[in-house]
Every structure is written in structure tokens, then in C-alpha cells.
């Protein structure tokens, strides 16, 4: 089996947990958008935006750091204990702080009386952090099936709990008000069940990973300082990355002038924006699945003399797959969106989705490019690039949201990741040259952008729109066959 096929196989397995699993979890979006009004769903959107930032603080780059140090060690066992001990200590400290400050937090966010949400999210964050390195250990050991099984199991439990609390309980109690179900369900909790279900599902990780989670060392030692030095720039990169992805959701209702969208208040617009943002998650999850497989892959093959050509082939294959996904979702969005967004109110924001998908594709390209500074231990460059991208995000959102609403945020997402891709490519080719197929990759990206733009610009009736869309997708696949596949462009050494 070729190395590219091996990577693809690992990506498919990880995709079963991250992409397929999240797609299953995504079935909750129709549930949420039918049960909760946009204003209520805005609470979920905002709090999970802040959780994304806190996830970076809780893990502070130690997942990737563990990969780097463990691959340089004969067993990796000592580095695992160091990383796990560090994360256990800091997770308890951070979550305790959040719980003590819960009243101040909910008052600052204008959600008085909702301290329970903060307590549950604090526990969720702690669990996510202390299982991060055990999951990384599974990836490093090539135990992708166990990794996928645990992740997929978490998703299925979460879906089941949501369906139980938000569908079954109200339906059952309507005809059986004295039922035992009344003792476990409270209508007043509302969107709080979203957080509670997440907490219960994540807590199950501790039942299946107990030995790994609590495999700690009584002392961190000097190696911890070396790991922390490597990790801190990665944490900075993480903060910058989540700024690019989440800042708009955290700040939209504050940056958008009240009454900008007729008939909606800012909290409702935040809910609409958050629901439409979910439609771009397919690209993000594909990138995540690829990342799970690619990170241990490139570290383990970095010493191979043919690794630059291998990385270039992987990049080109990723671009082809990414552009194809971008085209299919964007071109057929009017058919796809109503399946997930059940209330027509949420469909008013669909115009942002192709832009957000493009941003996700550029993020995946940037992740491919990040090979150079991770393998040369120059993560400081990655940190500065990410900070630059975050600066573009902040400035773009502040400047454009008051002018063109949430479309300004969507456009800013593309500009931010495009900046990061260009800078990383130029620096990377100087420090760690990789013979990327830049010309053909740019051609495919341009073809995808023009195809999507053509379908959206011209006001065609439904039949003509989808005939044109199908023709453009077929033409793209033909071009890939003509320019790459028949010439063996995706074949690499065995």
C-alpha cells in the first residue's frame, strides 16, 4: 500500500468519528432550530464560541507537543506522563476559577440566573483537556479504530440524550404528566439541556480511558520546561486560529448596529448566523479528520529523503478534494440547507455559507503548509503568522460588520486564512522547500470560485441552476482526470 493510500485510509477511519460522527451530531441542528427560537439558540452559539477560546487555554498546545517529543523518544511514556500531569493540574485550576466566577460571568453576558450553564461548561472543558493526550497517544500508536469508536460513541450518546430530553420528554409528559419522566425533566431548563447532554456524553470518556487519564508522574521535571517552550507558540497559534473561527460569533451582537436587519434583534441574528455557520462545518470537519491522520503521519516520515515530494502530493490531493467539496455544498446549498434548518427564518443567512466553506478550505491548505515550521522546531513563525491572521479577523469584523452585517464576517474569514496561506507558503519555501504543484492547485481553486460565483450571480430558475451546477462539477472531475489522475499525479512511493 502506498504511503498516500495509508494516509487516506487513516483519514477515512478518523473521518468516521470526526466527520461522520459530527454529521450525525449535526442532525441535532434541525432539532435545535425547530425547538428553540433564534434568540434562544443565540445563547448556545455565544457560549460555545467562548468555550472554543477556553479549549485552547486548557490544552495550551500539549497535544501536538506530545507528538513531537514522543516521536523523538524510544517509548514516549515519560513524555505522556509529563503532559498528562500538567493538564490535570491546570484543568482543575482553570475550571475551579470558572465555577467560582460563574455569577459574574453570566451577569456580564446578560444571562442572569444561568450560573448552572457555566458550571457544566467548566466541567466539560476540564474533561476535554484531560483526555486530549490519551487520545493523542491512541493516534500515535495507530489505534485509529479505538479512537474512532470512542469519539463516535460520544456523538451517539449526545444525540440520544438530546432526543430524550428535547423530544421524548415533552411528548410523553403531554399525555402522562404524573409519569416518572417528570422527575428528570424540567421545561424551564430549555437550552440548558444542550450543555447537560454534552457533559454526560463527555463524562463517559472517563469510564473508558481511566488508566490513560490518570497515568501521571509525581514530578514534571526539566523536560516539562522544554515541552512548555515548544507548546506556548502553538497555544498562541491556537488562540489566533479560534479567533479567526469564533470571534464573529462572540462579537456579532455587539458589533452589529441594533435594527440592522429589519424585523430581527441582534440576539436573533446571532442565532441565525450560528445556525447557518453550522452548514460550513462539513469542510471544517473534513479538515479535522485529515489533521488527525496527517499530524502523526508527517512527524513519523519527516526523516525520509522523499518526504518533501510526499508532502507535496498530499497537499495537491487535499486541494482537489477540498475544491470538489466546496463546489458540491455551495452549488446545491438550496437543496441541502432546508434539511438541517427547519425554521425558514434561519435560511435568511445562507449567503454566508460559500464564503465560510472557502475559509475552511484555506484553513486546510494552511494546515498542510504548517509542516515546515513544526518539523524545523520553528513554531514561533507559526505563532506570528496566526497572530497576523487574527489581526486581519479583528480588523475585518470591526470594519465590515457595521457596514454589511454578517456577510462582512464571512468575507473576513476568507481574507484572514488567505493571508495566512500566502505568508506561510512564502516563508516555508525558504526554510523547508517542498515542491508543491502550485500552478495546478491555484487553477482548481480559481475554477471552483468562478463556478460558484457564476451560479450565484445569475438568477436562473431552479432546473437550469442545478443542471449548470451538475455540469460544472462533472467538468471539474474531468479536468482532474485529464490533468492529474491519468498521469499518475497522486501516486507516491511505497
Q: What is the DSSP string of 201-240?
A: HHHTHHHHSHHHHT---S--HHHHHHHHHHHHHHHHHHHH
pLDDT computed for residue 404 by the predictor = 92
Torsion of CA 99, 102, 104, 109, to 10 degrees: 140
Cell triple for residue 189? Answer: 431548563
pLDDT in tens, 103-125: 999 999 888 889 999 999 999 99
Rounded CA-CA distance 230/210 in Å is 27
The SS3 of residue 110 is: coil
Q: Any idea which of 298-307, 352-361, 386-395, 477-486 has the lowest mean pLDDT?
A: 298-307
State the sign of the Cα–Cα–Cα–Cα dihedral 441, 444, 445, 446.
positive
pLDDT in tens, 247-300: 777 788 888 888 888 888 888 888 888 888 878 777 776 777 666 666 666 666
Q: How confident is the model at residue 489 (pLDDT cuts 50, 70, 90)?
A: low
pLDDT computed for residue 494 by the predictor = 42
Q: Reply yes or no on whether the pLDDT at 27 is more than 80.
A: no
Contact (CB, 8 A) for 39 and 267: yes
Q: Reply yes or no on whether the pLDDT at 96 is more than 90.
A: yes
Cell triple for residue 460? Answer: 436562473
Q: Which residue has the higher pLDDT, 275 or 72?
A: 275
pLDDT in tens, 404-441: 998 999 999 999 999 999 999 999 999 888 899 999 99
Q: Once rounded to an integer, what is the mean pLDDT over residues 314-338?
A: 89
Residues with Cβ within 8 Å of residue 248, at least 6 apart in sequence? 273, 397, 401, 406, 409, 412, 413
Q: Once rounded to an integer, what is the mean pLDDT over residues 431-454?
A: 92
Q: Once rounded to an integer, what is the mean pLDDT over residues 385-412?
A: 91
Of 327, 341, 336, nearest in space to 276 by CA: 341
Q: Once rounded to an integer, what is the mean pLDDT over residues 181-193?
A: 86
pLDDT computed for residue 426 by the predictor = 93
Q: Which residue has the higher pLDDT, 118 or 43?
A: 118
Q: Reply yes or no on whether the pLDDT at 324 is more than 80.
A: yes
Q: Once rounded to an integer, what is the mean pLDDT over residues 450-471?
A: 87
Residues with Cβ within 8 Å of residue 351, at least 6 apart in sequence? 407, 410
Rounded CA-CA distance 250/234 in Å is 22
Q: Any idea which of 228-242, 321-335, 472-486 has the lowest mean pLDDT?
A: 228-242
Q: Cell 468555550: give the residue.
A: 51
Q: Any idea which of 47-51, 66-70, 402-406 has the lowest mean pLDDT?
A: 66-70
CA distances (Å), origin 84, targets 78, 100, 300, 322, 422: 10, 24, 22, 34, 35
- Looking at residue 346, the DSSP 8-state letter turns out to be G
CA distances (Å), origin 256, targets 4, 265, 266: 46, 10, 7
HSE at residue 160, side-chain half, CA atoms within 13 A, is 8
Phi first, then psi, for residue 265 (nearest 5°) are -90, 170
Q: How confident is the model at residue 9 (pLDDT cuts 50, 70, 90)?
A: low
pLDDT computed for residue 8 by the predictor = 54
Provide the percentage of residues in the chain whose pLDDT is more than 70.
85
| Backbone φ/ψ region at 432: left (φ over 0), alpha (ψ -120 to 50), beta | beta
Q: How confident is the model at residue 373 (pLDDT cuts 50, 70, 90)?
A: confident
pLDDT computed for residue 493 by the predictor = 46
pLDDT computed for residue 10 by the predictor = 54
Torsion of CA 316, 363, 335, 194, to 10 degrees: 140
Give the chain's length. Answer: 494
The SS3 of residue 475 is: helix
Q: Any idea which of 307-316, 398-407, 475-484 has the lowest mean pLDDT?
A: 307-316
Cell triple for residue 190? Answer: 430549555
Q: Once rounded to an integer, what is the mean pLDDT over residues 199-209?
A: 88
Q: Once rounded to an integer, what is the mean pLDDT over residues 61-66?
A: 85
Q: Cell 470560485: give the residue.
A: 449
Rounded CA-CA distance 21/24 in Å is 5
Ranked by mean pLDDT, the top range of 75-84, 94-103, 106-115, 145-154 is 94-103
Q: Once rounded to an integer, what is the mean pLDDT over residues 222-228?
A: 86
pLDDT computed for residue 346 by the predictor = 79
| Mean predicted lDDT score pLDDT of the chain | 83
Q: How confident is the model at residue 175 (pLDDT cuts 50, 70, 90)?
A: confident
pLDDT computed for residue 357 by the predictor = 93
Q: Once rounded to an integer, what is the mean pLDDT over residues 455-468?
A: 84
State the sign of the Cα–Cα–Cα–Cα dihedral 447, 452, 457, 459.
positive
Number of Cβ atoms within 10 Å of the Cβ of 491: 12
Q: Once rounded to an integer, what is the mean pLDDT over residues 183-189?
A: 86
State the sign of the Cα–Cα–Cα–Cα dihedral 135, 139, 143, 144.
positive
Q: Which residue has the higher pLDDT, 109 or 6?
A: 109
Amino acid at each position: 500500500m502506498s504511503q498516500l493510500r495509508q494516509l487516506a485510509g487513516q483519514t477515512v477511519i478518523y473521518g468516521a468519528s470526526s466527520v461522520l460522527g459530527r454529521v450525525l451530531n449535526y442532525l441535532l441542528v434541525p432539532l435545535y432550530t425547530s425547538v428553540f427560537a433564534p434568540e434562544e439558540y443565540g445563547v448556545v452559539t455565544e457560549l460555545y464560541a467562548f468555550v472554543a477560546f477556553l479549549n485552547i487555554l486548557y490544552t495550551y498546545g500539549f497535544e501536538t507537543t506530545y507528538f513531537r517529543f514522543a516521536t523523538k523518544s524510544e517509548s514516549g511514556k515519560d513524555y505522556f506522563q509529563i503532559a498528562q500531569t500538567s493538564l490535570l493540574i491546570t484543568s482543575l485550576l482553570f475550571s475551579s476559577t470558572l465555577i467560582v466566577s460563574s455569577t459574574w460571568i453570566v451577569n456580564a453576558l446578560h444571562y442572569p440566573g444561568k450560573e448552572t450553564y457555566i458550571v457544566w461548561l467548566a466541567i466539560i472543558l476540564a474533561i476535554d483537556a484531560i483526555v486530549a493526550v490519551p487520545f493523542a497517544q491512541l493516534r500515535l500508536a495507530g489505534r485509529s479504530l479505538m479512537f474512532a469508536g470512542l469519539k463516535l460513541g460520544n456523538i451517539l450518546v449526545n444525540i440520544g440524550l438530546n432526543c430524550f430530553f428535547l423530544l421524548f420528554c415533552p411528548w410523553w409528559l403531554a399525555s402522562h404528566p404524573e409519569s416518572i419522566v417528570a422527575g428528570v425533566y424540567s421545561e424551564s431548563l430549555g437550552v440548558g439541556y444542550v450543555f447537560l447532554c454534552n457533559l454526560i456524553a463527555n463524562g463517559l470518556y472517563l469510564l473508558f480511558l481511566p488508566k490513560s487519564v490518570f497515568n501521571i508522574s509525581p514530578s514534571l521535571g526539566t523536560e516539562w520546561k522544554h515541552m512548555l517552550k515548544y507548546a506556548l507558540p502553538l497555544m498562541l497559534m491556537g488562540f489566533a486560529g479560534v479567533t479567526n473561527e469564533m470571534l464573529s460569533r462572540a462579537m456579532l451582537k455587539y458589533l452589529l448596529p441594533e435594527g440592522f436587519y429589519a424585523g430581527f434583534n441582534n440576539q436573533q441574528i446571532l442565532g441565525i448566523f450560528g445556525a447557518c455557520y453550522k452548514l460550513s462545518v462539513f469542510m471544517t470537519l473534513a479538515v479535522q479528520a485529515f489533521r488527525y491522520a496527517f499530524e502523526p503521519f508527517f512527524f513519523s516520515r519527516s526523516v525520509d529523503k522523499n518526504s518533501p515530494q510526499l508532502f507535496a502530493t498530499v497537499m495537491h490531493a487535499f486541494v482537489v478534494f477540498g475544491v470538489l467539496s466546496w463546489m458540491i455544498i455551495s452549488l446545491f446549498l438550496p437543496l441541502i440547507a432546508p434539511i438541517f434548518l427547519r425554521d425558514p427564518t434561519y435560511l435568511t443567512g445562507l449567503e454566508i455559507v460559500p464564503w465560510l466553506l472557502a475559509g475552511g478550505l484555506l484553513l486546510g491548505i494552511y494546515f498542510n503548509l504548517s509542516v515546515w515550521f513544526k518539523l524545523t522546531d520553528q513554531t514561533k513563525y507559526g505563532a506570528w503568522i496566526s497572530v497576523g491572521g487574527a489581526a486581519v479577523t479583528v480588523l475585518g469584523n470591526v470594519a465590515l460588520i457595521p457596514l454589511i452585517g454578517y456577510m462582512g464576517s464571512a468575507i473576513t474569514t476568507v481574507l484572514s486564512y488567505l493571508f495566512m496561506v500566502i505568508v506561510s507558503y512564502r516563508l516555508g519555501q525558504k526554510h523547508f522547500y517542498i515542491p508543491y504543484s502550485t500552478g495546478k492547485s491555484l487553477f482548481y481553486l480559481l475554477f471552483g470560485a468562478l463556478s460558484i460565483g457564476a451560479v450565484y450571480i445569475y438568477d436562473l430558475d431552479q432546473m437550469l441552476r442545478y443542471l449548470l451546477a451538475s455540469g460544472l462539477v462533472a467538468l471539474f472531475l474531468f479536468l482532474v482526470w485529464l490533468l492529474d489522475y491519468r498521469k499518475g499525479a497522486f501516486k507516491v512511493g511505497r
